[in-house]
Structure formats: C-alpha cells, structure tokens
Structure 1
Amino acid sequence: MPRGITLALCIKQLIISKYQSGVKQAIIAKQLGLNRSVVSKTIKLHHIRNSLISPPKTGRPRKTTPRVDEKIKSIALENPFNTAMDIKSQLDDVNISIHTVRRRLRDSGLPARTPSKKPFISKKNRTARVQFAHGQKQDGIQYYFRMKETLISSNNHILTSSV
C-alpha cells in the first residue's frame, strides 16, 4: 500500500516551476490546495533524483498472467454458478489459491462468490407454485364475496337503525 498521495506529473512540474520562479512552498501549497509537506517532499525528491518521474514500484510479482486472468473470467462467465473452488480446480496449469481467484474475479468486475444469475426453478417447484397461486386466487374471490356481503349487511343495519 503506497504511503502518502501520488501526484500527477503535471502537478509536480507546476510545483517545481513555481518554486524555481521564487514562490515560497507555503504559498504554492495554498494555491494548489495541497499540504505543505507534499510540496516540500516533491521539491526535495526532485532535487535528489533530478527527475519528476516516480521510480518503479517494488513488491511481490503477480502469480497469474493476463492470459490466466482472462481464463478465470471466461470460466466464471461460461457457468455463473461456479464457485471459486470450482474455477481453481479447472485451472490445471496454475497453482493459485482460492483467494487469488476471488481477487481476479473482483478485479474483472464479477461477483467473487455468489452466482451472477439465479438457477431456474425446477419443474416440481414450478407446478407447486402455480397450484398454490390458483388456490390463493379462489380463496381471494371467496374472501371478497364474504367481505362484500358483510359490508352490505352492516350498511343495511346502519341505514335501518338511523331512520
């Protein structure tokens, strides 16, 4: 994880040009909306390196190549119900962890664990749902007529008692 903020090259050039023209660091920081320590560090690193380009970043190399990343993505898109473990087992030539597979899926904009589509409802569940809905429909109609009769009788009772 990088420390501090990373400035664009054009902002670094602006800081150096203003500093070389005689503007104080505090004023440069105020004009650009930066912290004074950022301006000071930029000037100091330019003086040491004599360059505004940042050195290459160090760190552990990636375990997967762009080709393997594409393969992981294509396996996930081919069958969205595959888990990270399933995808890992389909990658024969690469020895990576499940967490790496999940990171690569997240990097490519896919869900890392949950399927991207829900499975279809089985035929048995579909027929059960239809039967349930038809039963509710009949119960609903009977309920409506019962309520209608109740309202009519209560209105008649109210009309006859008020006269």
Structure 2
Amino acid sequence: MPPRRKLNEFERERAVAWFQDGVPKREVARRLQVSISVIVRLVQRFPATGRVQERRRPGRPKKTTPREDRLIERLALQTRTASSSIIRRQLRVATNTNISQQTIRNRLHEFSLRSRRPAVRPRFNPAHRPARRAFCRRHVRWTRQQWSQVLFSDESRFTLNHNDDRLRVWRRQGERCIDATVQEKVAFGGGSVMVWGAFSLHHRTPLFHVQGNLTGLRYRDEILRPLAVPTLQQMGPQAVYQDDNARPHRARVVNDFLQQSGVNRMEWPACSPDLNPIENLWDELDRKVRGNHPPPPPRDVQHLYQELQAEWQAEWQALPQRIFTTLVNSMRTRCVECQNSQGGYTHY
C-alpha cells in the first residue's frame, strides 16, 4: 500500500476555497489525489479553528529529515541487495546521522519497499535477450488457434523430499525447535526422478519416467517415436512440436528423425523456461502430488518412484481442461511481456 500523501499548506487553502465555492468534497479529494476522509477532517476543522494548519501531533518526532528519507530510499534502489545495516552505515557516512536499523526499515516501508526473496531466473548472456525478443516478435500476433496447434514438451526433475519455502508452521514463542515445528532436511533432497511430458490445448501425452541419462538416441527411441509423434499426428498436419535446446533434443539423430517424420518444429530461444507454459503445469502437478502425500522418509529412490508413479500418472491425466486452456491462452501475454522488456525477464 503506498504511503498516505500529506497536503501542504497551499493545498489545504485551495481545498477550503474549493469547498466554499460549492465543489463537493469527493471532487476536491479527487483533484488533490487524497482520501476523502482527509478533506472531511479539513473542512470540519477549519470553521472551528479558522486555520488550515495541522494541529501539533503528540508522540515522538522523527529522527530523520525528508532529505535523509529520500537518501535512504535512493540508497536502497541503487543497491537492491543492500541490508538495513549497510544502508545505515552509508547514511551515517553521508549525513553523520546515527539511527537504528529498524528506523531504516520503517522509512523504506513508508516508500512501499519491502524485503522479499529475489525471483530466480536463468542467467542471460549477450545473445539470449536478442533471441528471445526476435522469437516474441515473430509470434506475438499468433492467434489462439495457432497456439492450440503447438505441442509443448519438457522434462522435469521431481525431488522426493525438499523444502520449497512454501511450508509454514503455527508455533508459540519458544517452540521453534520442537519436533512438530521443524522441517527435516535430507541430503540431496532424498533423491529425485525425472519425467517427460507434453501437452497441447486438447491433447496430452502420458508421463514418461526418464531413467538414467537422457541421450539423443533414447530421446528419439523412447520419447519421440512412441509418444510425441503419434500425438502430433492426432493433432493434424498443422501441428507444431516445441522442445527446448537441451543437448539431447538437438542431437543430429533427433533432427534427422523429426525431419523424416515430417514434424514441424518450433525454433525455441535458449534460457526461456518462462515462455514455456509446461513449466507451470509441472508446478501444479507437484503441488497436487505433495498435497496427497507427506514428504517420504529416506528410502530407495526407485522403490519410492514405483509407489508414486501411478499417482503421478493419475494426477497428470486428471488435470482439468481449464488449466490447459489458460496456459495456452497465456502465450500471447508472455510474448508481449517479453517483448516489452526487450527480451528480459517476465513474471511467469
């Protein structure tokens, strides 16, 4: 919520003059861009006091001046990762003002700045942004019908036991380390499994468990030939296959096979998971499976996967159609947002 704007003396006099001229209070508030309650209190106070100045407020006065407040905001915006202690030290060097770290945080809160976890995104090299911008420029005018002909695919690695910072616990003071409020951490996430899947607006392939390293030959023989190509044939001659630039996907045997099979393949910019809607689908699938099962104890990864494999398949097939419709329809917005950021990051 933005900080409440205070009227200066000239604006208060103007507000009283407008009100005396018959301008409604709501219109006065709109002209000055303040809450109507500010104008109501002002016009109620003026007949009693005959002045527009605010009454002297009780309480402790601020230890910083408006100039120092603006400096605190500027220091935080110049270095977004600077802690309150660093900003406090920089302010003391610049103005010889010694205030607490909590005061620094209070001033930043007044400017609507909050400490948050940074968004995690791939690192771009100089070639990535132009490639992303070019891709979005080519596809930003695609219709929903055109996007409905794209089969989006990807692999995802599911860690069987991890803390994704979504877990919260209810606890009282002094209960931080009791068993009921501790999230146990298992080395390397307790193991992981990799699955492959693909979907379009009206089609979805079965999930495929990728065991071991995925090579170009395995990608062709175990995924493309039995799963992806038949689905593309069901979609019709206008179907387009999308996969990323992982090394197995761009192997020569894979390129030759797709060309011989007559598959239309979409050119995909590197480091662009935010443009691929299947990433959101993996997150939804992970939430559903974890919602049905507590984190498993450390055991054999293969045994755990066999226990969860049927449920992953069932949850994948049970994902409602509205999710697929929403994700496919979001492609135009993704392209617009990426193009507006000059090929930079999007919120997806």
Q: State TM-score, norm by structure 2.
A: 0.24
Higher relative helix content? 1
Q: Higher relative contact order at CA 8 Å, sep ≥6: structure 1 or structure 2? A: 2
Q: TM-score, normalised by structure 1?
A: 0.44
Structure 1 or 2: larger strand share? 2
The higher radius of gyration belongs to: 1
